[in-house]
Structure 1
Amino acid sequence: MKRHQDILERLAKEKHLEVLDLCEILGVSAVTIRKDLKFLEQKGLLYRTHGGASLDNPYINERTVIDKEKISVEEKNGIAQMAASRIVENDSIMIASGTTVQALSKFVQPKNKLTVITSSLNVVMHLIHDKNIEILQLGGYIRHSSASVIGNYAEYILKNISCSKLFLGADGIDLEYGLSTTNLEEAELNKKMLKAAQKIIVLADSSKFGKKSFARICDLSRVHEIITDNGVSSSIRKKLEERDIKVTIVN
């Protein structure tokens, strides 16, 4: 069927599609589009998500930081470089775990003094040689897959901390489900980080949109800005901006 082919061709270009957008583009009802998506999913050609469809399995399996570092390298570096421009003089920031936020540490150039709180061991190793950066390494159990800490010790420290910005990564960004990650304990730590920061900036390449992972971090209403690459669809960008989330696209 031509409509099915149109859906698959658009999905190949945009990575994620919304049901309502397909209704408008193809001139059919939401009921028809949902039937189309169900049929195509049964054929193994796509995955249905809440309100749309994706080429990637929305329930992401956990991968090691070494594996993730090899994916979308150019996009992640561009996102990280843009994020670094958000750091101001004498700033205090928090950097969570994940390869995109980890890449941020390569581009940090402190204006006078900078305080960095982080759960990531790799972030510490990138920043440790700069004497203008004061580092607070959160303590706890080490997740081997992400080279970051989790657990009650890190969460306890965060109860007594306030910083200007949290740079947060995610394995999934879904308009309804919100931000999510593969590990429940990491999600819990991220929630404590959210409470300790005045501004939440999410760093994520476009492949993360339209996906849900195992552990939910927060609703998108908590997010102030998302920095991503130009692979994100104009439809998703518009819907995020309608929720007063600043979307910064790195070309």
Structure 2
Amino acid sequence: MDAIGARPPEGTALSTNEGPQATDEASPQAPEPTQGESGQASGAGQPLRVRQRRQQIRQRVTQEGFVRIDSLAEGLDVSIMTIHRDLDVLESEGWLRKVRGGATAQPSAFHHGDVAYRAQVMADAKQNLAQAALEFVTPGSSVLVDESTTCLALAARLPELEPLTVITNSMAVLKLLATDQGIDLIGLGGAYYPAYDAFLGLRTSEAIQSLRADILFMSTTAVTSGFCYHQSQETVAVKRALMQAAAQRILIIDHTKFAKHGLHQLAPLSDFDTVIVDAGAAERDLAPLRAQGVNLHVVTTD
């Protein structure tokens, strides 16, 4: 079994120096001196203190959804300007979105949203969608799974149909299936993006090009006028490569995708063999897709 932590598939690389969001400490600016309760710089302990403070900011924003800047400054005993700098760095890494007066974990057309936050959204619908997607999987087949939290719910069910070969760029999926003896696991290397908990970028796309799988399961951030959209070009490039590497393509979405927006266009929904959507989708959103020839599989609530 080829796990990402042990031995990557031939031709892949696990470099973490690609792209502006590739590491937890990647930043467009040098870290500022960290202040303790006395307001003085922490000297030799500065890098660790900065990392710890930003980790606390990330966790609080994820848990609460929105946190005011003055509340963060008071809770961490630092200046408001320090919090502004921290939020700038965390936003550049994709962890959160800086808004007027604070920071939010909610996705937008420019911000994908922290993976921990997204995993909590529409959890029941994702489980129903995963159950429906299992019907398309045949034991012994090779399965491509993207880094979406929707497909993470499906990945948790794949051992029910082993033996399988599972190929993914998602670190969460790799961790989930790494110890399952019935899964032949192939990890796609490249630059690791912590906010996505996935490998993205040019090297990931190149690794996919040497593979051919029976079926692909993927999701998308937004659906607008019959097209999939995402916030980052790196995500779009990898997902396009995944689509080219699969004999059958399955898109899995919940009805909230029709109300969201993304910056970069990925592909029309008609490029997928099947689009699985939950029963919460309004007919006004589904009717145009049917008219375009999209094969819809609407999942009723169990």
If the length of structure 2 is used for normalisation, what is the TM-score? Answer: 0.61
Match of 1:168 in 2: 218
Alpha-carbon distance, 1:210 to partner: 4.5
CA distance in structure 2 between the partners assigned to 1:57 and 1:124 by the alignment: 24
Going from structure 1 to structure 2, the CA distance change for 1:58 and 1:150 (only over 3 Å counts) comes to closer
- The answer to whether residue 119 in structure 2 is matched with residue 119 in structure 1 is no
User: 1:132 pairs with 164, 169, 182, which one?
Assistant: 182
Alpha-carbon distance, 1:58 to partner: 7.2
Equivalent residues in 2 for 1:18-33 (5 A)? none
Alpha-carbon distance, 1:243 to partner: 2.5
Alpha-carbon distance, 1:98 to partner: 1.2
Equivalent residues in 2 for 1:96-245 (5 A)? 96-109=146-159, 111-176=161-226, 178-245=227-294
Indicate conservation of the 8 Å contact 1:58/1:210, yes or no. no
Aligned partner of residue 285 in structure 2, secondary structure = helix
CA distance in structure 2 between the partners assigned to 1:225 and 1:112 by the alignment: 22
Match of 2:298 in 1: 249
Alpha-carbon distance, 1:83 to partner: 1.0
Indicate conservation of the 8 Å contact 1:167/1:201, yes or no. yes
Indicate conservation of the 8 Å contact 1:110/1:133, yes or no. no
Could you tell me the percent identity over the aligned residues? 21
CA distance in structure 1 between the partners assigned to 2:270 and 2:119 by the alignment: 28
Residue 99 of structure 1 aligns with an amino acid whose one-letter code is T
CA distance in structure 1 between the partners assigned to 2:233 and 2:296 by the alignment: 27
Residue 180 of structure 1 aligns with an amino acid whose one-letter code is Y
Residue 115 of structure 1 aligns with an amino acid whose one-letter code is T
Alpha-carbon distance, 1:240 to partner: 1.7
User: Per-residue CA shift, 1:119-140, capped at 9, x if unaligned?
Assistant: 1011111112221111110001
Which structure's CA Rg is the greater one? 2
CA distance in structure 2 between the partners assigned to 1:110 and 1:90 by the alignment: 12
Indicate conservation of the 8 Å contact 1:110/1:132, yes or no. no
CA distance in structure 2 between the partners assigned to 1:245 and 1:107 by the alignment: 26
Going from structure 1 to structure 2, the CA distance change for 1:239 and 1:58 (only over 3 Å counts) comes to farther
Indicate conservation of the 8 Å contact 2:190/2:199, yes or no. yes
Structure 2 unaligned blocks of 5 or more: 1-105
Structure 1 unaligned blocks of 5 or more: 1-55
CA distance in structure 2 between the partners assigned to 1:112 and 1:143 by the alignment: 29
Q: How many residue pairs end up in the alignment? A: 195
Aligned partner of residue 80 in structure 1, secondary structure = helix
Aligned partner of residue 143 in structure 2, secondary structure = strand
Indicate conservation of the 8 Å contact 2:143/2:166, yes or no. yes
Residue 182 of structure 1 aligns with an amino acid whose one-letter code is Q
Residue 179 of structure 1 aligns with an amino acid whose one-letter code is C
Aligned partner of residue 158 in structure 2, secondary structure = coil
